[in-house]
Chain A
Amino acid sequence: MNDETTASEQSVRTVHSDRRAAFIALAAWLVPGLGHALMKMWGRALACLLCVGALLLCGAGMRGNLFTWETPDPFSRLGFIADAGSGLFYWVARSVEVGGPDVSHSDGDYGTRLIAAAGVLNLLAALHAYEAARGRKA
């Protein structure tokens, strides 16, 4: 009986831990660094926030292409998936880039890469936060 109770408590705890990890991953995706901040990993949280934020703002400042989903081109959709990895910062970048993209110069082309890199890095950080919340990484 005692063993059954312990196993049941363990199972409930695992479900809670999984839900918490999923919540942390979602938070980490929405706001870069928030997932790590929720786990009190302040250094990593600050580094994620600054790196993703700087890449995205510089990319938008260089008038890089911020892709949208509404396009027939599958490669542009892949670009959107990379860009949307930045979470809410994607819309911040859209509001910053009021002049629209200009990839006729090298600046705009580099800016497009910076924006995509910011999204992919943030996805990596969200995955790291998820794993850390499950106790697999620290």
Chain B
Amino acid sequence: MTPLRLSHWQSLLLFAFLVSIALGVLSRRSPTEQVKYAARSLFWFLLIAIGIGWLMYPFSR
């Protein structure tokens, strides 16, 4: 199998997208609620990851 090369952003997006779908499907009953939960979860995953990234930025240099 050819090694998969992903950037930090692509890795984050892949992880957040798949985990959000699974959490949405498992924690809500109706399809509409599942989609809403997955979208909200994805948004918070990305926002918190980017926020923590910026918080660590001053210490990276």
B is bound to A: yes
Interface residues on B, range: 10 to 19
Question: Is B52 part of the binding interface, using a Cβ–Cβ cutoff of 8 Å?
Answer: no
Contacts of B25 in A (CB 8 A): 43-44, 47-48, 51
Contact status B29-A138, CB under 8 Å: yes
Contact partner of A124 (CB less than 8 A), chosen from B1, B21, B26, is B26
The majority secondary structure among interface residues of chain A is helix
Is A55 an interface residue when CB atoms closer than 8 A count as contact?
Answer: yes
Q: Indicate whether B58 reaches chain A with its CB closer than 8 angstroms.
A: no
Q: Is B18 an interface residue (CB 8 A)?
A: yes
Contact A62 B22 (CB under 8 A): no
Contact call A62/B19, Cβ cutoff below 8 A: no
Q: How far is the CA of A98 from the CA of B2 in the complex (A)?
A: 10
Q: Say yes or no: B5 contacts A107, CB within 8 Å.
A: yes
Q: B18: which A residues are within 8 A, CB to CB?
A: 51, 54-55
Q: Which residues of B contact A (CB under 8 A)?
A: 1-6, 8, 11, 14-15, 18-19, 21-22, 25-26, 29, 31
